[in-house]
Structure 1
Amino acid sequence: MSSDTTAIASAGASDEDGSLFARISWKFIPFIMLCYLFAYIDRVNVSFAKISMAKDLQFSDSVYGFGASIFFIGYFFLEVPSNLILDRVGARLWLARIMISWGAISCATLFVQGEVSFYILRFLLGVAEAGFFPGIIYFLTTWYPSRLRGRIMAALICAIPISGLIGGPVSGWLLDALHQVGGLKGWQWLFLVEGFPSILLGIACLFILRDGPDDAEWLSPDDRGRLKQIKVEEAHATPGHSFRDALTSLALWKLTFIYFSLGAGFLGIAFWMPTLLKEAGAGSNTMIGLLSAIPHLFSIVVIIGAGWSSDRFRERRLHLVMPILVGALGIVIAVKSSGDLTTVLIGLTMGVAGISSAIATFWTLPGLVLGAPALAGGLALINSALALGGFAAPFAIGWLRDHVVDGGMVALHTLAAILVLGAVMVLTFSGRVVNR
């Protein structure tokens, strides 16, 4: 991460600015990536717990799908309020609150005894995490100019495949190795072991993050002045309007739909990947965890390459459209595999890598389209679309698998179609506006 951090920050900037942003990145990016890594692990580790949890607690696919999805209900309704609070109290304090509360609730999921307690804790986890990701985007937007955000967002989004690369094998191992240790099932240990680090990281936020240059004691007065100058220069190039005005902006709602399509596709895969691998003959929980790491390994390479290319050529539209279409094709390949493990794995790898890359590039757009007064609320509104996609996709797959012949296939084909519509929506943006 050391050389990558320096390269990410300095590329595309003057020598003086490159040195400044390299120092900023050393302070923040590795830590933020670690926080996001555990946020994502705590969000989707239920997909691994489901392998044995569903059997122990007699959960059908519909029950699991609804429990996985209900996380996004609380997340959706509190996303915008959470980010508006963050704008008032500062990212450092509010991100710390989010991480500590979600870590505690994730640990408490070990006490689930039936459907009702499962639903309640998943809902509360979404309430606790609401505002985390757009809060990070808002934080990074206050520190980095638009010309560097493609690489910075690529570094952040890399935390998702890294979490899969680490979390998948670890989750599979916990299910097998700690089963019945201390009287707890493997899935109970999974929630406890993977939730506790988030509490510690939340406390660390208070000591590591800074709300702006004026609070960064390690910056010189000249550095602070340069950062403020950059913000003023960018403000003149970006339309200025309030969040209320932004709600009437077609561009904001187009961004929201695009992110809905990405969220539905990615989370539909994420919450059902272990199950699909098991049904394709992956074998033990440990083997499922190891195989699930492969799509994430490829994603890291694709995300970094796409982020570099997007910034290098100042081109956003095709860097969004092409990965989205690759992701949609990957879902179709996995569906058409007829249960062949290798084909399923190839399709899942294309799906995860393509959509992950698109998500990283996508988050360069809001800062180019929305003015500073609308940014905090706008980012939260856009990210709330992920909550809708995250609710609809896992629940629909579970319900259709239980109630419709070939229902899982129907649901995944629908996800691919929604992704294609998202790609079409990207093309409606003018290259003059977004290719910066």
Structure 2
Amino acid sequence: MDTSTTSRERRPGVEKAAIRKVAVRLVPFVALMFFVNYLDRTAISFAASNGMRSDLGLTAAQFGFASGVFFIGYLLLEVPSNIALQKVGARRWLARIMVSWGAVALLFTWVQDFTQLAVLRFLLGVAEAGFFPGAVLFLSLWVPARYRSRILALFYLAQPLTTVLGAPLAGYLMQQQGVFGLQGWRFMFFGVAIPAIVLGVVAWFYLADSPAQAKWLTAAEKDWLTSELSAEQQEKPAGRGGVRAVFRNGRVWALSMLYFGFIYGLYTLAFFLPAIIGRFEQRFSTSFGVFEEGLITAVPYLPAAVVLYLWSRDVTRRGLRPWHIWGPALLGAVSVPLALFAGSPELTIAVITVTACSIFAALPNFWTLPTRFLGGMAAAAGVALINTVGNFAGFVAPYVTGALFDWTGSYVLPMFVVGGFLLLSAVLMVLLGRGDRTGEQTRTAADRSSHRQENP
């Protein structure tokens, strides 16, 4: 019997079964971790317009600073955290991160003033450092490159769904005035912190660090995944350069700035959309209750989740093209300032929905780019560096938006700034796409020349 033929005949079935098991076993759980992560990170935006700002006496700039200072601690430890994850193992490190941030998030229940709020937000960033790039790297190391767009899209669905489900949930929790003697916004902080601690404990026992350690894969599935991933690692010369090579890599820095633009738009929406909706009464003579505002805040994110999934399916079918990223960035750049000129609440939310769809369509596909040319410790450092530089926008965006609003009394100028950064992302992706095509054409020409020399 020809064993190699038999192996090839079995391979499609093994491949399909292995990818399906990873998608079913790991992605929903890691996505749930991300859901809780993003909810704890953005809970301050729900609390702000529902009693916290008035109770603590915060200006818009102070709220923006408290929202953004999270990212200072987060950014300082991002790269070290991801390197530690590579050494310690994702199971232990991700579980440790979740328990740490859950404990800090719980303390927001009893915050008393701006100083305490800013300190806790800084510490929350320290506790959460490394979770997102660690989760992206973890999932990327479980599937070959051709499946990563699909897997990361399923994972990334947690982010828009955090607002779709989290905003009404936060609204419901804030309506529970007096539970444990707490104001509604304080009880909301309590209610969203506990799941992080619980999930962190579960993750310690549930996750596995690699396919070889997964008891839920068959021997054939383990062998196929391990051999595919090993072969890919050997094809990444940048990965063998180590951590120092990452900091000298121009493509890594370009991706970092590209990601900065997307994150600037994302967190402006996350932190200030509830405030924009709260101003509907002034602009359009309409008013909504706390729970209704939560539902309205969720509206842009449900279509965004659908577009994210469909866009990533197209990437899987066609292969990633530069326009899969620069196209949404350009649409977001044009749409976000237009929301401030809409003539009704419905039209305002419709335009904001276009912006949300644009950002979320691009993000999961963007994260397939670093691991295409980085491997090993360089991949850990590169993903963390890109996330670090990009997430600096998480500090800049809310602070600048709040300061510009205090200065102008309007969100018009802040939204034009958002559009400018999204336009920067589009331009960078166009330039990176041209560079990749030029490099590919050069390599192809060199290969042909070499072939002619070997076969005169």
TM-score interval, normalised by the smaller of the two chains:
over 0.9
Equivalences, count: 419
Q: Show the counterpart of 2:404.
A: 400
Q: Distance in 2 between matches of 1:324 and 1:43?
A: 24
Q: Show the counterpart of 2:122.
A: 123
> Paired residue for 1:424, among 411, 414, 427?
427
The answer to which of 64-73 and 352-361 deviates more is 352-361
TM-score (norm 2): 0.89
Q: Show the counterpart of 1:19.
A: 17
> Paired residue for 2:196, among 176, 190, 198?
198
Aligned residue runs from structure 1 range 213-228, under 5 A: 213-228=211-226
Q: Distance in 1 between matches of 2:391 and 2:166?
A: 22
Q: Please report how far the alpha carbon of residue 21 of structure 1 lies from its aligned counterpart in structure 2 after TM superposition.
A: 1.2
Q: Show the counterpart of 2:316.
A: 311
Q: Distance in 1 between matches of 2:106 and 2:355?
A: 30
**One-letter amino acid of the counterpart of residue 123, structure 1:** F
Aligned residue runs from structure 1 range 176-255, under 5 A: 177-239=175-237, 240=239, 241-255=241-255
Q: Is 2:291 the partner of 1:286?
A: yes
In structure 2, the CA distance between the partners of 1:63 and 1:320, relative to structure 1 (3 Å rule), is: same
Q: Show the counterpart of 2:417.
A: 414
Q: Distance in 1 between matches of 2:414 and 2:105?
A: 28
Q: Is 2:349 the partner of 1:351?
A: no
Q: Distance in 1 between matches of 2:31 and 2:320?
A: 25
Conserved 8 A contact 1:264-1:389: yes
1:143 counterpart SS class: coil
1:179 counterpart SS class: coil
Q: Please report how far the alpha carbon of residue 389 of structure 1 lies from its aligned counterpart in structure 2 after TM superposition.
A: 0.5
Conserved 8 A contact 1:261-1:389: yes
Q: Please report how far the alpha carbon of residue 334 of structure 1 lies from its aligned counterpart in structure 2 after TM superposition.
A: 1.4
Q: Deviations over 1:266-300 (max 9, x none)?
A: 11111001010110135111111001111111011
Q: Distance in 1 between matches of 2:249 and 2:404?
A: 36
1:149 counterpart SS class: helix
Q: Show the counterpart of 1:70.
A: 69
Find the structure with the greater CA-based Rg. Answer: 2
The answer to which of 314-323 and 144-153 deviates more is 314-323
Q: Distance in 1 between matches of 2:278 and 2:12?
A: 51
Conserved 8 A contact 1:251-1:369: no
Structure 2 unaligned residues grouped into runs of 5+: 1-10, 282-286, 441-456
Q: Distance in 1 between matches of 2:379 and 2:189?
A: 34
Q: Show the counterpart of 1:101.
A: 100
**One-letter amino acid of the counterpart of residue 94, structure 1:** W
Q: Distance in 1 between matches of 2:357 and 2:126?
A: 28
**One-letter amino acid of the counterpart of residue 256, structure 2:** T
The answer to which of 322-331 and 357-366 deviates more is 322-331
Query: What is the CA RMSD across the aligned residues, in angstroms?
Result: 1.6
Conserved 8 A contact 2:325-2:362: yes
Q: Distance in 1 between matches of 2:341 and 2:334?
A: 11
Conserved 8 A contact 1:320-1:426: yes
Q: Distance in 1 between matches of 2:170 and 2:363?
A: 25
Q: Please report how far the alpha carbon of residue 330 of structure 1 lies from its aligned counterpart in structure 2 after TM superposition.
A: 2.5
Q: Is 2:288 the partner of 1:296?
A: no
Q: Show the counterpart of 2:146.
A: 147
Q: Please report how far the alpha carbon of residue 405 of structure 1 lies from its aligned counterpart in structure 2 after TM superposition.
A: 4.7
Aligned residue runs from structure 1 range 153-168, under 5 A: 153-168=152-167
Q: Distance in 2 between matches of 1:396 and 1:128?
A: 24
Structure 1 unaligned residues grouped into runs of 5+: 1-12
Q: Distance in 2 between matches of 1:16 and 1:371?
A: 25
Conserved 8 A contact 1:28-1:208: no
Conserved 8 A contact 1:79-1:384: yes
Q: Distance in 2 between matches of 1:251 and 1:90?
A: 27
Q: Show the counterpart of 2:391.
A: 387
The answer to which of 240-249 and 374-383 deviates more is 240-249
Conserved 8 A contact 2:69-2:122: yes
Give aligned-pair identity as a percent: 35
**One-letter amino acid of the counterpart of residue 416, structure 1:** G
Q: Show the counterpart of 1:376.
A: 380
Q: Please report how far the alpha carbon of residue 56 of structure 1 lies from its aligned counterpart in structure 2 after TM superposition.
A: 1.3
Conserved 8 A contact 1:320-1:361: yes
Conserved 8 A contact 1:256-1:382: yes
2:162 counterpart SS class: helix
The answer to which of 219-228 and 35-44 deviates more is 219-228
Q: Deviations over 1:181-225 (max 9, x none)?
A: 332111101100011001100001111111112221222332222
Q: Deviations over 1:15-59 (max 9, x none)?
A: 320111111222211111111001010010110100110011111
**One-letter amino acid of the counterpart of residue 398, structure 2:** P
Conserved 8 A contact 1:330-1:349: no
Q: Distance in 2 between matches of 1:212 and 1:369?
A: 20
Conserved 8 A contact 1:335-1:413: no
Q: Deviations over 1:246-265 (max 9, x none)?
A: 21111100110011111111
Conserved 8 A contact 2:258-2:429: yes
Q: Show the counterpart of 1:171.
A: 170
